[in-house]
Structure 1
Amino acid sequence: MFTAIARAALMLSAALLLSACGNGSAVTAGDGAPVASAPPDGTEPRAGLGCSWLAVSDIETTNVAFPDAGARYWLALVPNIPGTRLRIDGRYPDARYFSFNVYDPLLRPIDAIADVEIAPDEAGRNPFRNPDAGPGAGYTAFVEFTGRPDQPAPNSIYSGQVDLGPGLPNPLTAMLYRTYVPADFEDFKGGVGLPQLALETTDGSNELLPLGACEEAPLPNAFGLLPGVPLNDLIVGADYPDAVDQALGLNLPLATSPPSTRVFYGLPDTALAVLGNLLPAELPLTDALPEQTAGGGGFLSNVHNAYTSTGFDRAFGDIYLLRARAPTFPGDARAASSGARPNLRYWSVCQNEFATQRFVDCVIDRDAPLDAEGFFTVAVSDAADRPGNAVADAGIAWLPWGGIYKDGILIYRHMLPADDFAEAIHNVPRGTDPDAVMGDYFPQATYCSRATFEAAGGDAAEIFAACAAEQAERAPGGLLGPVLNASGAAGR
């Protein structure tokens, strides 16, 4: 039986959810009829209060925490009320990937479950386990408001404890539902609508607060009813005033020359890496920090992804490049021809800005041009500085820098590596030279002048080699002088 405190918390939860969703009902059409996410088999979603999902990512507005152009993110906020759990009723979307991650107040993932781990309501109907099943079948998953046990229950994730001390409770579950690379890029819901949420007793015997199956989240655009503001187009179309750098002579502590690429482990490492760029000597970054593997460390990161980041600053150049051997992915002709399992479920490279945490643009695996050696090469600049040979025919994926930004950060993602893909970012322990683990799959980076880039011709490998040779002739630099990267090497 619920205590008075639990009942009051439940009532407060309902009030918060209803106030966040305006009139507390699903989106309505012009005639007032509800518009909800209807499953493909024609069954109606349950009636509920408010909306299951509070907000959705949007490139113009809710473009925060370094998102990916190949994905869409929906956010739910649910108080962790004793004696309850959150039930998720959904259908498998027609997409490359989906998952649920739950987070602590520092935006670090506590637990997660991926598509292939979610058992279907009807045996054999999970298309991520059985490709012949096809999308649309139903599943039921749960968020338990307790710590994760040694033997977690099937289809369950746990959000009750925060890793800031022994048994520290988490008062609020922030959950992200992600989908990546839908079959139809106009519908990131994958043709099946959004999962529907409900609070119920921990034993599932009583449904306490069903939430509505709104077709669109209320934030940021009032259920999609408000017109979008083309903010990102304005950022992409801007041309950075180089006179600002020349007048101020200021370098940001986010980048070095040559560029330094690091594996992302968590917020403490990121802070120490930035601090290290402030100093003229290398800083021992990780000796005092607890053990942690790649990925899962903050900024609403995804447990199933691992990341590298490479910082750049216009003080060192108006064009920069990133290059690595391209992993195979589902649908990749290279994997199909060999009969081998794809290296990764997904990979991408995104151009971002650190302070705003916005992405400007991304190249995703299926759209990345590869050269004859099987490498991808990403070039970043303002449109006004784009070299004439920064084109796909030369094996170059060009991304806009974002003309209002002084800094840039290229984030390279790996998702769900195959067991035999030893070169995945996931397999780089902290304190290990990533080059030694990843080999050609570890990205190299360099600045470049437009003259050198264009003089190198129409082959990405030759362009990058010419730019790297030009970079090698420059004196290393950071905010206060010469800087080495974390491995002591230049430009890897």
Structure 2
Amino acid sequence: MNALFPENHAAYWSFNYTVRAGLHIRIDGEFPDSRFMSLSVYKGEGGAFSVNGVESTLTDFEIRPDAGTANPWRTRGAAPGAYTVDLVSLPSAGDSNVLPVAPLDTPEGALGRLIFRVYLPASGDWSSVVLPTVTITDASSSPLPDCSDAVLPAEALAAAAGLTGAAEISADVLFVRPPADLGLLPNTDTGYLAVTTTPPAGDQVLVIRGHGATSADGVHPQVWPRRGVDLRYWSLCTNLDNAQRSLVANPLPDGTVDYGCRNDDETTLDRHGFYTYVVGTETQRARIEAIAGVTFVPWSAARPAAPHVLFLRDMLADSGFREAIQNVTAINDADGARKVMREYYPETAITELAGLEAGHSCFTTG
């Protein structure tokens, strides 16, 4: 489902349940061979929460493995093992592998949701991701059969990547942190900067430049936190500013699709560690990619004059990385974001493509 700011490098599987007295949900799974995974519980109307200080997300490195197995985000070089996570009504702070099943004031009969999130599986093979199994008990029933086939479908919910409301952000081409309440099913490990703009006319392009954070590269688990690594993952994406927030997905003549996301591994950095994204049309792509040191990002080929939303994602920031988007508290304020992020803030300019081809720079040297 290409909607609600998806990331083509990620897949989400959803399990919905009805809140009731004594509800206990047990999740038995295998750690995926991937860059990132998490389990998140959301309120029925969307949104993260906490109960007794226990947050409603468990990220890969926080999960204790089953006895005799290993968590590859905690043990270097370990083969992915197994885990068991319990969703309970009254978790206690300090408990391992526990998530709250719902906020304390949730009425019986309300909807709850569990999302299993995976980024960049090994070799890009989503079929290699083993889906968790689910066992449900409550005060009036014995354990129910395994529900994995029924409630964790193989197709990803490529939706709700964190920004799902009307994007109330600047009409200028300046990245800002949007309001937190835009998130219906937000990835709480992630911070976002966003901007809404219409593609420039004629032979003009949008140029975006900033310092690239160090990140955990590749498609396999790495121990976290890791010295010298700022983020687990980052990316820039273009989406249509429509009701579905569709990710740009342009069919190409060779039968492939050019999606509007470029992640850290797909982004060229110069010798100073800066990226330069050039956002243009597919017809401009060959010219843009011939320019040294730039990374092409597409506008929609089907709707080139429609408003687009671009967002920069910082996922799972190290506590020592002060310039992370997660540390930006000013909302809808480009200067506030710039003060926190400094050289990591994505500066923008609209320019003629011919000028870039001639070597003219829109920015001072990093």
Partner of 1:417: 317
Partner of 2:58: 113
Partner of 1:428: 328
Q: In 2, are the aligned partners of 1:179 and 1:188 still within 8 Å (CA)?
A: no
CA distance in 1, matches of 2:78, 2:154: 33
C-alpha deviations, 1:340-397, integer Å up to 9, x for none?
4311111111111121212122111111111122111211122124471x22761211
Q: 1:67 to 1:394 in 2, by over 3 A?
A: same
**Runs of 5+ unmatched residues, structure 1:** 1-61, 222-251, 268-296, 333-338, 467-492
Partner of 1:57: none
Partner of 1:443: 346
| Candidates 390, 401, 411, aligned match of 2:299 | 401
Partner of 2:192: 307
| Candidates 60, 70, 79, aligned match of 1:134 | 79
- 1:434 aligned counterpart, secondary structure: helix
Residues 1:265 and 2:179 are matched in the alignment: yes
- 1:116 aligned counterpart, secondary structure: helix
Q: Could you tell me how far 1:440 is from its partner in structure 2?
A: 0.5
Q: In 2, are the aligned partners of 1:307 and 1:413 still within 8 Å (CA)?
A: yes
Residues 1:391 and 2:289 are matched in the alignment: yes
Equivalent position amino acid for 1:384 in 2: T
| Candidates 214, 219, 232, aligned match of 1:328 | 214
The structure number with the bigger radius of gyration is 1
C-alpha deviations, 1:162-211, integer Å up to 9, x for none?
8xxxx3448111222111112221x235x3511111212479x9423421
Q: 1:105 to 1:445 in 2, by over 3 A?
A: farther
Q: Could you tell me how far 1:94 is from its partner in structure 2?
A: 0.7
Residues 1:177 and 2:116 are matched in the alignment: yes
- 2:363 aligned counterpart, secondary structure: helix
Q: In 2, are the aligned partners of 1:96 and 1:180 still within 8 Å (CA)?
A: yes
- 1:208 aligned counterpart, secondary structure: coil
Q: 1:253 to 1:314 in 2, by over 3 A?
A: farther
Partner of 1:42: none
- 2:32 aligned counterpart, secondary structure: coil
Residues 1:155 and 2:55 are matched in the alignment: no
1:337-348 alignment, distance < 5 Å = 340-348=227-235
Q: 1:256 to 1:192 in 2, by over 3 A?
A: closer
CA distance in 1, matches of 2:319, 2:168: 37
Q: In 2, are the aligned partners of 1:95 and 1:183 still within 8 Å (CA)?
A: yes
Equivalent position amino acid for 2:130 in 1: G
Q: 1:208 to 1:328 in 2, by over 3 A?
A: same
Partner of 1:372: 271
- 1:103 aligned counterpart, secondary structure: strand
Q: In 2, are the aligned partners of 1:341 and 1:418 still within 8 Å (CA)?
A: no
CA distance in 1, matches of 2:12, 2:214: 24
C-alpha deviations, 1:112-155, integer Å up to 9, x for none?
110111111126611110023222x11001222x36x5616321
Q: In 1, are the aligned partners of 2:16 and 2:151 still within 8 Å (CA)?
A: no
Cα RMSD, aligned residues only: 3.0
Partner of 2:237: 350
CA distance in 2, matches of 1:392, 1:328: 25
C-alpha deviations, 1:89-128, integer Å up to 9, x for none?
1011111110011222443233211011111112661111
Q: In 2, are the aligned partners of 1:326 and 1:374 still within 8 Å (CA)?
A: yes
Q: 1:387 to 1:213 in 2, by over 3 A?
A: closer
Q: 1:370 to 1:254 in 2, by over 3 A?
A: same
CA distance in 1, matches of 2:232, 2:326: 13
Equivalent position amino acid for 1:354 in 2: D
Q: 1:429 to 1:64 in 2, by over 3 A?
A: same
Q: Which has the higher helix share?
A: 1
CA distance in 2, matches of 1:349, 1:63: 17
TM-score normalized by the length of structure 2: 0.79
Structure with higher RCO (Cα < 8 A, 6+ apart): 2
Equivalent position amino acid for 2:36 in 1: Y
Q: Could you tell me how far 1:86 is from its partner in structure 2?
A: 1.5
Q: Could you tell me how far 1:76 is from its partner in structure 2?
A: 1.4
Equivalent position amino acid for 1:139 in 2: Y
- 2:176 aligned counterpart, secondary structure: strand
Partner of 2:153: 217
Name the count of aligned residue pairs. Answer: 323
Q: In 2, are the aligned partners of 1:160 and 1:169 still within 8 Å (CA)?
A: no
C-alpha deviations, 1:393-428, integer Å up to 9, x for none?
612111211123311121111111112111111111
TM-score normalized by the length of structure 1: 0.60
Q: Which has the higher strand share?
A: 2
**Runs of 5+ unmatched residues, structure 2:** 50-55, 158-166, 219-225, 249-259
CA distance in 2, matches of 1:216, 1:104: 18
Partner of 2:171: 256
